[in-house]
Amino acid sequence: MQALGTRFIVRQLSPFTHLAVLEGAVKVVLAENRQAESLIVNAGQRMAFTAQAFGAANPTDRNASAWTQGMLMADKMRLADFVAEVTRYRHGFVRFDPAIADLRISGAFPISDSQRTLNMLVQTYPVTATAHLRGYWVTLSPA
């Protein structure tokens, strides 16, 4: 990726690289497919790609940069995906019962205080949290 006077967010979730361009543009060249044309991703666009292929360009999620303001924004996010996001900012483990993996979560949650985020989750949704090892390991279960 080559920044072209820009502000952008990159996230690696193997095998995909996720790019969201907030300002300017980013030139993307595939690492393992040099025969493919490079692609310019402009402000307001996001795209997932691998080392071999580009995905489709879509509009950037308006909450893509919320984490830079210390917030995790969820809009009908699966609990499984929500837990994956929370654990990026938490020391320790958060696990969940598969029965609640598809529960949809919405709201604004602080990433600097993951315990507060889990408390908000329990107060708002039909979920209980059980802490082990002084809160290092948390298990979410149906309420």
User: Could you give all domains of the chain from N- to C-terminal order, each with its CATH number?
Assistant: 2-59 (no CATH), 66-142 (3.55.50.30)
pTM of the model: 0.69
pLDDT in tens, 17-68: 888 898 899 999 888 877 778 889 998 898 999 988 898 988 887 777 777 7
Phi and psi dihedrals of 55, rounded to 5?
A: -90, -175
Most distant CA pair in the chain, distance: 53
What whole-number distance in Å separates Cα of residue 89 and Cα of residue 71? 11
pLDDT of residue 99: 96
Strand bridging mode 137-142 / 93-96: parallel
**Residue 126: CB atoms within 10 Å:** 10
Beta bridge partners of 48: 18
Give me the residue label for tokens 């991703």.
Answer: 41
The dihedral formed by the CA atoms of 100, 62, 31 and 5, expressed in degrees to the nearest 10: -160
Three-class SS state of 105: strand
pLDDT of residue 32: 84
Q: What's the mean per-residue pLDDT of the chain?
A: 88
pLDDT in tens, 98-113: 999 999 999 999 988 8
pLDDT of residue 123: 93
